[in-house]
Structure 1
Amino acid sequence: MAVLIDPARWPAHGTVFSHLVSDRSLAELHEFAAAAGIPRRAFDGDHYDVPVERYAELVARGAREVSGAELVRRLVASGLRIPAARRPGRLDRVLSQRFHRLLPGHSPLERDPVVADLLARWSEPHRHYHDRSHLLAVLTSIDLLLRHGEDCGRWVRAVKLAAWFHDAVYRGDPSRPPGQDEEDSAVLAETVLSDLGLPDPEVEETARLVRMTARHDPDPDDRAGAVLSDADLEVLGRGRGDYARYLAAVRRDFAHVPDEDFAAGRAAVVLSLLEQDPLYRTATGRRLWTAAARRNLSAELHPTAPHWHRPRGERPGRGG
C-alpha cells in the first residue's frame, strides 16, 4: 500500500480536512477510499478531502502519516498531481485569456460569445478525457514545440485555433462514421471564424488542420500539421501516473460501450499508433515523447511485460 495522509489543517465547513492520496495509482486510492466508506464526491482529481474526525481511523486502516510537503512531493513524483492551472476553478479563466490573445483586434462583444460557446462544448458532461484539461494540454504543448524551434510558418494562429476546434464537436459515439466528429468540428470552425471576419486562407487552414486530427497523418512537409498532431498526441509520452489517468478518462468517455467491445476498439487504436513510424512528426516531439509513448502503448497491450515496471517517479523529458 502507498496511501498517504497529511495532518488536518485545511479549514472548511466548520472543521479541518486532511488530504488522502496514493503515490502509486488512482485505482489504489479509490479502492482504499471505498473500503473506508469515503464518498466519491470527496475526490478532487488527485486526492480525497477527509475531515479530521476520520484521521485516526484512516491511519489505523493503513494510510501512512506524512507532512503536507512530503505528501505533495511524492504525489508530484508519481505523476498523479494535477497542476493548479488545470483544476476546474481556474481552467475557464486561463483558457479564456488564451483565446482572447488570439483575437486582439476583436472586441469582447465579438470574442466572449465565441469562447463561452467553445468552453461549454469542452465542458459537456460526457467528456472525461476530451475536456478542457485536454484543450489546455494541447495548447501548452503547441507553445512548448514552438519554443523549441518548431516552425508553423505563417500559420501559428491557425494551429492554435485548430486546437480550440479540433474536439469542439465530440459525441463519443462509436456508431458514428470515423472522422465525423472532426468533420463537424471543422465545419463549426469555418462558420465561426468566417463570422468573425478572419481571412479566408486562415479559416481554410484552421479547418484543414482540424480534419487532419482524425488520423494524425500530416504530410512530411506539413509543418503546421506536424505541430498540431504532436501536441494532440503528447499525452502518450507522459509518465506512468499521467498515462494511467489518461486511460481511465478515455474509458469513462466510452462508459456506454461494453468492456469487450471497448477493449477490442482500444487495442486497434493502440496498434495503429505503434505502427506509425514516426509516431511524432516534429524533431522535438520525437526527442521528448517517443520513447515513453512507445513504452506506454506497448504496456497497454502487454501490461505484465517487464517494460511496465520501470522505476517509480521516472518521467520522460518535457523540456519545460
Structure 2
Amino acid sequence: MTVLLDPPAWPAHQRLWSHLVSDTSLHELRVFARAAGIPDRGFDLDHYDVPAERYDDLVAAGAVPVDGRTLARRLATSGLRVPGHERRRAARAVLLDRWATLWGDVEGAAEVGADLVDRWREPHRVYHSRLHLADVLDRLDDLVADGAPGSRWHAAVALWFHDAVHDGATPADEEASATLVEVLLTPLLAVAPGGAPTSEDVAGAARLVRLTAGHDPAPDDTTGALVSDADLAVLGSAPDRYRRYVAQVRAEYGHVPDDAFRAGRAAVVDHLLALADGPGLYRTAAGRRRWAEAARANLRAEAAALTEERP
C-alpha cells in the first residue's frame, strides 16, 4: 500500500488542508485513515481532506509526503481519480435541480429532494454515493433517448430512492428505501390532490425500489426494466471505469474481512453472470446494445480475479 500526502496548502474554512490519497487501493486508504483517526466525513470521492495540524501525525503513521503535482499525477494514473466533470454533475445544487424538474411547484417536494441528496452524501458511502445517483439518472436518460419504453418519471423517482438507505445489507436496504418512499412522498398527496404524486405513484415507486434487490423485472414490466438497466449500467463501463467501481465497492465494505468480502462479492458476480447468461442482465433492447457485451467481459474478468485471490 502507498498512501500519499501533499503539503497543507489548500485554504478552506479558515484553515489549511492536505490531501490524503492512495495510488493503489481505496480500501487500504480508508483503513489507513480510520486507523489514524481521520473521520469518514473527510472523504471526498477519491481522497481525504485533512487539516494541517494532522500532517506530521500522518507522515509518522506511514503516509508518504509528496508535492501536490506528484500527488495529482499519481492519483490520476491509478485509475481511482474522480474527474471534474463527474464531480460537477453530482454536485448538490445540480442534483437538486434535477429533482425539481420531476416535481414542478408541488409543495414540499423541494424539502424531500434536499433530504434525499443529504442521504446520498452520507460519509460512509464510497460507491453508493451522489456519483452513483447522478450516473443512474444519466443512464436512464440514455435509455429513454434510445427509445426504451416505460415511464421515465416513475423510473427517475424510483432511482432517486433506490439506495437512499444504504447500510450494506440486501434486501434490507431496498426494503428500507421502499419504506422511505412511502414516508417522504405520502405527505405530498395531501398538498397536491389529483396531481403528482398519486397514491398509485407512491406505491409504484416503492415497488420499483424493491425490484432493485434482485434486478429481475417481469417481461412486461417496461418501467422496471428501465430502473434495473440504469442501476446495472456501470457493469458495462469501460474496463478502467469498471475497476474503479470494484475499488469503490471494496472500500465501502471496508469493515468486512478480505476472505468474507471475496466470498460475498463472488456470490454477487456469479448472480450477475447467471443473469447475463440466462434471461439477460439488461432487459431493454437499448441496454443490451449499450452495455451487455462489455458487462459480460468485465464480470468474467472480475470472477477470474476473485478466484485467483482465494487462498
Report the TM-score, using the length of structure 2 for normalisation.
Answer: 0.69
- Matches for 1:183-194 after TM superposition, within 5 Å: 183-185=178-180, 187-188=182-183, 191-192=186-187, 194=189
CA contact (8 A) 1:274 1:294 kept: yes
What is the rounded CA distance, in whole Å, between the counterparts of 2:116 and 2:15 in structure 1? 38
Cross-structure match for 1:26:
26
**Structure 1, residues 119-161: CA drift from partner, whole Å, max 9, x if none?**
34445566554343332222222223334x14344x1111111
Match of 2:148 among 148, 151, 154: 151
CA contact (8 A) 2:181 2:202 kept: no
What is the rounded CA distance, in whole Å, between the counterparts of 1:241 and 1:52 in structure 2? 31
The unaligned stretches of length 5 or more in structure 1 are: 307-320
CA contact (8 A) 2:4 2:21 kept: yes
Cross-structure match for 2:249:
246
Match of 1:285 among 287, 295, 304: 287
Cross-structure match for 1:141:
139
**Structure 1, residues 204-238: CA drift from partner, whole Å, max 9, x if none?**
54333223222211233433222211111123333
CA contact (8 A) 1:299 1:305 kept: no
SS at match of 1:217: coil
What is the rounded CA distance, in whole Å, between the counterparts of 1:163 and 1:105 in structure 2? 21
Change over 3 Å in CA distance of 1:96–1:16 after alignment to 2? closer
Match of 2:175 among 171, 176, 180: 180
Q: How far is the alpha carbon of 1:10 from its aligned partner?
A: 3.4
Cross-structure match for 1:47:
47
CA contact (8 A) 2:103 2:196 kept: no
What is the rounded CA distance, in whole Å, between the counterparts of 2:284 and 2:294 in structure 1? 16
What is the rounded CA distance, in whole Å, between the counterparts of 1:53 and 1:118 in structure 2? 32
SS at match of 1:302: helix
CA contact (8 A) 1:92 1:119 kept: yes
Cross-structure match for 1:318:
none
- The aligned amino acid for 2:148 is D
Cross-structure match for 2:81:
81
SS at match of 2:160: helix
- Matches for 1:26-175 after TM superposition, within 5 Å: 26-27=26-27, 40-41=38-39, 44-48=44-48, 68=69, 72=72, 75-76=75-76, 78-84=78-84, 91-106=91-106, 109-123=107-121, 127-147=125-145, 149-153=146-150, 155-170=151-166, 172-173=168-169
CA contact (8 A) 1:189 1:206 kept: no
**Structure 1, residues 248-300: CA drift from partner, whole Å, max 9, x if none?**
21x14xx4x67665554433222111100321223443344334433443444
CA contact (8 A) 2:208 2:227 kept: yes
What is the rounded CA distance, in whole Å, between the counterparts of 1:92 and 1:156 in structure 2? 22
The CA RMSD over aligned residues, in Å, is: 4.4
Change over 3 Å in CA distance of 1:185–1:297 after alignment to 2? farther
What is the rounded CA distance, in whole Å, between the counterparts of 2:304 and 2:251 in structure 1? 17
What is the rounded CA distance, in whole Å, between the counterparts of 1:44 and 1:25 in structure 2? 15
Cross-structure match for 1:271:
270
CA contact (8 A) 1:2 1:63 kept: yes
Change over 3 Å in CA distance of 1:297–1:160 after alignment to 2? same
Change over 3 Å in CA distance of 1:10–1:207 after alignment to 2? closer
CA contact (8 A) 1:239 1:292 kept: no
CA contact (8 A) 1:150 1:282 kept: no
CA contact (8 A) 2:43 2:123 kept: no
CA contact (8 A) 1:8 1:18 kept: yes
SS at match of 2:108: helix
**Structure 1, residues 168-207: CA drift from partner, whole Å, max 9, x if none?**
344545695x963355245447625534441545445433
What is the rounded CA distance, in whole Å, between the counterparts of 2:95 and 2:291 in structure 1? 24
CA contact (8 A) 1:9 1:17 kept: yes
Change over 3 Å in CA distance of 1:146–1:14 after alignment to 2? same
The unaligned stretches of length 5 or more in structure 2 are: none
Report the TM-score, using the length of structure 1 for normalisation.
Answer: 0.67
Cross-structure match for 1:315:
none
CA contact (8 A) 1:158 1:203 kept: no
What is the rounded CA distance, in whole Å, between the counterparts of 1:208 and 1:33 in structure 2? 38
> Would you say how many aligned residue pairs link Structure 1 and Structure 2?
292
- Write 1 or 2 for the structure with the bigger share of helix: 2
Task: State the identity %.
Answer: 45
